[in-house]
Structure 1
């Protein structure tokens, strides 16, 4: 993006701290793309059961929700960058154990130990990562920064599954998981090279510490009292229930119903991820021109049609195209929602508000994944995808009857009693 003449600021890509953070997280995302395909394949290879895949997804989801309850408290209390580095190192060690143990033969039980812990660490990392963007760029550049990050992540999501499919087919999914483990080391090194604005800022009025549960509830109260955020939380909780197991169902559909191989699955997920790239690049101009409400509602409506279409599709190319549309719209809706929270939440509450949002948002996800995958094995993918797609469409319709519909391009005000967001470069208080 070109320099803005009004402020004379350099383009975002020339910001050294943001650029370093961007590169480090891109490398980490590339590794995550390997695990995104390799873990379900590892379970399917060892058990042949889509229900087992869904159960593992559900268990990891529960761990994420539990970690989310107190993750925001930790992020707001302690050094955010240091927390991110620690969680990277934890995941490096645990994911690194999988290929080593697998040398003795399939050990599915290990995944039920490693994945929940890594999911909890990942939740803490993601909460901190959301606050890190706020501490890296000016407020009016948050949507642009999120878009650039997500677009780059999506590019790695294109190449990652493609390479993971090749590696899994040639060497086994456990080797692809080893690549994921190595990526966390690269992320940790990159984080060591940056400093967040909050690291340098001196808070003149430190926030009084309370019990962890009370601090978490402060974030939940802010979330609930802000009308747009409240509506988003409720509707997205339903959406995640309907789609949390979508990847597992998709992999099952491609391999079981359409006769695809591990390489086919990698190709489908890799090419479909181009939709995420498109969504990340489109979100900032869409929000500027159409406003938050129409962009968010439209994205989720299209998601519904795409999910239903995936189940009805009978060829691999059509499944790939529809999945790309789905991922594009998920990207648009997700970046819109995340950017709005970052813009209107005071910095000293941002970790707890993000934590409260994700804990609530993902609370129904594990149950949804277990039910979705069980139903796919019992009744078939077409019926399950049709029901999930109609549900997603109803989520979008629900947005028309909430403050989301009236939300424009500019952030809404903070709820009474919490004060405005602090000036850029401060930690708030």
Structure 2
């Protein structure tokens, strides 16, 4: 039976359904990270500065080699940058938590802009020296460590909790994209004029600075009252500021597991790629094809960064970490078997494809469980612990390849990942994680 009342009720239900659908569409648009103005300003500025830095990273050793003719002194530049970055990592966390993050980031961009503009001018004038280059590298490395620590800490203030994983994945995509685009562009510019990569890098920091100045939201929560928060005690007081980060990390089962898993994973990836490069050259593969292998691996990471949020949504966090660790160990072992040909890049690219999902989940969780006033110190401790061993990976790969047969030597790196997988499978910290941050 139907009638006017029934039809009116149906029309009302249709109107309510249409209104609900419109609300859902609006909520979906609002929840999209692409519509987050402030995060996108920060992200875009860092895309540009990351590409600029990748250009300079390629051009600096080339410039030193042209000036000195010494490969040893050219290598000294990269070593100096890594040494300064490692030394500044923990102090950077203290600065980020004690001072205004926006002002620190602006200051860092100004420092990097000035030093690279000065280097470009010196190259044009023919007055560039090794001493000047080392000053530029050291100043830029120190400023970059402070900036990246502040950026890690600030993301939580710019996005909603449910967007943290997606935001970290976007940053991963930015990193892989810049590592693919920056070096070829740097090489092209260096060929056109030795000062151009450094001038381009200075311009990238100017654009990053402009984006920062346009961000409206604060990059941190209000600072706690010193009387109620021991973390605000000056660093010179025993047990004061600098120790709060390590103490928080060591006291949190998840964060302890994070650094135990991340350190061998990062070391294994770096060492495996280095060892594969040497192995392929030994087998007679032309340098152009060796470069293609490296690019293939980078493309795998870039694609993985875009799919990381979807993968993270479909698997519980502990399951995701275990799957990634064990599959990476298997894929690296397969790459070892194929290490005399270009096909070795395929399993490594798949392994790198899975990496951003792990980073997005792990660092998204870290950002969620760490109080805002400790973000800088905790991030600095996690990054230091997770990446410090990476610097040893090329040296380890070189020693192994010099004294052990090629494939046998390369098996050390899948075994490192197995160690991380065992911790992920049986470690109490991983089991204690919840599904969502």
What range is the shorter-chain TM-score in? 0.7 to 0.9
Indicate if the aligned counterparts of 2:267 and 2:389 stay in contact, CA closer than 8 A: yes
Match of 2:149 in 1: 127
Q: Contact 1:127–1:354 (CA<8 Å) still a contact in 2?
A: yes
1:237 aligns with 2:254: no
How do residues 173-252 of structure 1 correspond to structure 2 at under 5 angstroms? 175-198=196-219, 202=222, 205=225, 207=229, 209-212=232-235, 214-244=240-270
Q: Is the 8 A contact 1:32 1:180 kept in 2?
A: yes
Q: Deviations over 1:44-78 (max 9, x none)?
A: 885557x974x755543332222111111111111
Does the CA-based 8 Å contact 1:162-1:266 persist in structure 2?
A: no
TM-score (norm 2): 0.77
Separation in structure 2 between the aligned mates of residue 174 and residue 387 of structure 1, nearest angstrom = 41
- Pick which of 180-189 and 98-107 moved more: 98-107
Provide the aligned length of Structure 1 versus Structure 2.
404
Provide the C-alpha distance between the structure 2 equivalents of 1:72 and 1:17, rounded to a whole number of angstroms.
Answer: 23
CA distance, structure 1, for counterparts of residue 263 and residue 352 of structure 2: 18
Which structure 2 segments of 5+ residues have no match?
1-21
Of residues 418, 423, 427, the one that matches 1:398 is 423
Aligned to 2:12: none
Q: Contact (CA 8 Å) 1:3, 1:10: kept in 2 or not?
A: no
Equivalent residue for 1:32? 53
Deviation at 1:27, TM superposition (A): 1.4
Number of the residue aligned with 1:149: 171
CA separation in 2, counterparts of 1:58 and 1:375?
21
Please report the RMSD computed on the Cα atoms of aligned residues, expressed in angstroms.
3.7
Match in the other structure for 1:321: 346
Structure showing greater relative contact order (alpha-carbon pairs closer than 8 Å, 6 or more residues apart): 1
Query: Secondary structure, in 3 states, of the residue corresponding to 1:400?
Result: helix
Whole-angstrom distance in 1 between the partners of 2:348 and 2:189: 23
- The answer as to whether partners of 1:161 and 1:269 remain within 8 angstroms in 2 is no
Larger Rg: 2
Q: 2:280·2:339 contact (CA, 8 Å) conserved in 1?
A: no
Out of 320, 326, 335, which is 1:295 matched to? Answer: 320
CA shift digits 1:326-348 (9 cap, x unpaired): 43233222222211110111111
Task: Kindly indicate whether residue 410 of structure 2 is the aligned counterpart of residue 385 of structure 1.
Answer: yes
TM-score if structure 1 supplies the norm length? 0.79
C-alpha contact (below 8 Å) 1:300/1:329 kept by paired residues: no
Say which of 137, 140, 153 aligns to 2:159. Answer: 137
Q: Which has the higher helix share?
A: 2
Q: Per-residue deviation at 1:23?
A: 1.5
What CA deviation, in whole Å up to 9, does each residue of 1:224-247 have, x standing for no partner? 111111111123233344445566
